């Protein structure tokens, strides 16, 4: 029987402060993500998805009109796992050369990523991905995820309001700046880049 459990964070719930508060971590990771996991376990029970790995559930349910709820919850679990691995205490800093060079410099990478993330209408995600062998920035709406489109994610930023509203209210741009400057786990990003090259 399918039973997904919540992965542990690589940091304590207070270590991302002041850029992400303990309250936000407890709400976002402790409640929102936990609910997606519970929903996925409940929805997948006694279905053909019950024994599939998470990524396989996403890829197959994305093409199954009868499994929209399974897709939404599975994709949100994947996206959130990826986002929480994309951040770390004392993160940010210099953009790795492999990424800066792909965008014509660190400033251009920051500008393009910030513009994409700020431009997501409503709820969604901003991503650094490898698409057909090329590093790109893309966005997805709601629960959609790159892996449903055979695109490899390298870095994720959650721009749903629950990711930042307790700390930044309606100032999404300030949250994006804090993510880019102080939160990105470049070791995780570079590992993903190495695995997908």
CATH code assigned at 36: 3.55.40.20
Q: What was the pLDDT predicted at 179?
A: 98
Q: Is residue 2 part of a domain?
A: no
Q: Is residue 49 part of a domain?
A: yes
Q: Is residue 158 part of a domain?
A: yes
Total of domains in the chain: 1
Q: What was the pLDDT predicted at 196?
A: 73
Q: Is residue 69 part of a domain?
A: yes
Q: Is residue 8 part of a domain?
A: no
Rounded to two decimals, the pTM is 0.95
Per-residue confidence in pLDDT tens, the chain, 197 aa: 457 888 999 999 999 999 999 999 999 999 999 999 999 999 999 999 998 999 999 999 999 999 999 999 999 999 999 999 999 999 999 999 999 999 999 999 999 999 999 999 999 999 999 999 999 999 999 999 999 999 999 999 999 999 999 999 999 999 999 999 999 999 999 999 987 76
Q: Is residue 14 part of a domain?
A: no
Residue numbers of the domain that contains 43? 21-197
Pairwise CA distance, residues 87 & 186, whole Å: 8
Q: What was the pLDDT predicted at 120?
A: 96
Q: What was the pLDDT predicted at 1?
A: 47
Q: Is residue 53 part of a domain?
A: yes
Task: Give the pair of three-digit tokens for residue 31.
Answer: 């409640």
Close Cβ partners of 49 (under 8 Å, ≥ 6 residues apart): 2, 57, 60, 61, 67, 70, 74
Q: Residue 105 region, left (φ>0) first, then alpha (ψ -120 to 50), else beta? A: left
Pairwise CA distance, residues 120 & 26, whole Å: 24
Q: Is residue 138 part of a domain?
A: yes
How crowded is residue 100: how many other Cβ atoms within 10 Å of its Cβ? 16
């Amino acid at each position: 029987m399918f039973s997904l459990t919540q992965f542990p964070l690589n940091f304590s719930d207070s270590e991302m402060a002041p850029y992400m508060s303990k309250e936000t971590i407890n709400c976002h990771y402790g409640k929102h993500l936990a609910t997606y996991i519970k929903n996925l376990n409940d929805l997948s029970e006694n279905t053909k998805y019950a024994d599939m790995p998470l990524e396989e559930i996403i890829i197959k349910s994305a093409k199954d009109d009868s499994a929209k709820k399974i897709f939404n919850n599975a994709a949100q679990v994947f996206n959130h796992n990826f986002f929480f691995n994309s951040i770390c205490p004392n993160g940010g800093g210099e953009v790795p050369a492999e990424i800066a060079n792909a965008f014509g410099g660190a400033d251009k990478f920051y500008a393009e990523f910030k513009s994409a993330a700020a431009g997501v209408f409503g709820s969604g995600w901003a991503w650094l991905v490898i698409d057909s062998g090329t590093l790109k920035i893309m966005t997805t709406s709601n629960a959609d995820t790159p892996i449903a489109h055979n695109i490899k994610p390298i870095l994720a930023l959650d721009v749903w309001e629950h990711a930042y509203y307790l700390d930044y209210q309606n100032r999404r741009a300030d949250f994006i700046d804090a993510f880019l400057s102080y939160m990105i786990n470049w070791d995780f990003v570079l590992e993903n880049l190495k695995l997908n090259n």
